[in-house]
Amino acid sequence: MPPVRKAVILAAGMGTRMLPATKAVPKEMLPIVDKPLLQYAVEEAAAAGIEQVIFVIAEGKEAVREHFGAGGRVAALLRAKGDAAGLALVEGPAQLVRFAYVYQDAPLGQAHAVNCARDLIAGEPFALFFADDLILGPEPCIGELIAAHQATGGSVVGVEEVPAEQIPQYGIVEPATGESGNPLRLSGLVEKPRLEDAPSNLGVVGRYVLSATTLDHIERSRPAIAGTEHYITDVLLSQLAAGEPVSAMRFKGVRYDTGRPLGYLVANIAAAFEREALRQPLAERLRAFLGG
């Protein structure tokens, strides 16, 4: 099984659910505590042994390049002042992995976005991140998916149990008959089903490890419903139809959907609680807000 060395991070979206914050600032650059959301994804990838991150970005997302680039005005200033701690914060992101950038020129969907990175990922398995999903936990979620990919030999999606009313917002997996393990062998997936059509309550989160055949299946597959987006779900269905194993992994961490204001706020609080220096004072402020 070839190692998973590369991650594609999709960061070309408009962020319309977080306007006006995302008018000038890419949604992926909004801070979770004091680090941009994207940095958590890159740190997760690096902690799992990924060597190169390929960002799929769009016009207006140049701040992403600036953040993960070396040098710059702030670094020069901190160096001149001899501020080693500040310099480490500013230069840290550029040192996590190697970076590449590709542009998605039109909002043509997830499969098209991945295909924009084609030249950099051809012929090998790769990790795929949807930047909106922040996953905090005892080990990098993508590392658990990589291990599952190595065990099964096929594509793997990260899943979690989803409350009934949210099922229509997710890709929902269909476990193969008699399967209940982890990773869980699948027989199908449905993108954003109605509750009554959902084959399980396991929803796909924005973490995937996709097998080396994926680019062929992007070309070969079509949106399940003509005229809708070409989802990664459609690509996985094409792999299943070709007899390739596709599995779901229930990961250990907790996932926060930062793409909406409530989820974004909760993610900030969860990440702050992981910081020793913030946990106690933040808990006190929250208790005071709640009047207790």
Contacts with ligand G1P, residue ranges (CB under 6 A): 130, 133, 170-171, 191, 203-206, 231, 233
CB-based contacts of 219: which residues, under 8 Å, 6+ apart? none
* Residues 195/164, Cβ–Cβ less than 8 Å: yes
| Cα atoms in the Cβ-side hemisphere of radius 13 Å centred on 281 | 5
Shortest distance, position 75 Cβ to ligand G1P, whole Å: 34
CA distances for 30 relative to 16, 39, 62, 118, angstroms = 13, 10, 14, 28
Residue nearer to ligand G1P on the CB measure, 135 or 215: 135
Do 115 and 215 contact (CB within 8 A), yes or no?
yes
Q: Which residue is nearest to ligand G1P (CB)?
A: 171
| Cα angle: 283, vertex 288, 289; to 5 degrees | 100
Closest CA to 131 of 273, 250, 14: 14
Least separation, in Å, of the C-beta of 204 and ligand G1P?
A: 4
CB of 233 to ligand G1P, least distance (A): 5
Q: How far is the CB of 206 from ligand G1P (least distance, A)?
A: 4
Of 205 and 215, nearer to ligand G1P (C-beta) is 205
In whole angstroms, the minimum distance from the beta carbon of 191 to ligand G1P comes to: 6
**Closer to ligand G1P by Cβ: residue 146 or 205:** 205
Task: For ligand G1P, give the closer residue by CB, 99 or 170.
Answer: 170
Q: Considering beta carbons, is residue 154 or 206 the nearer one to ligand G1P?
A: 206
- Closest CA relative to residue 154, chosen from 99, 217, 88: 217
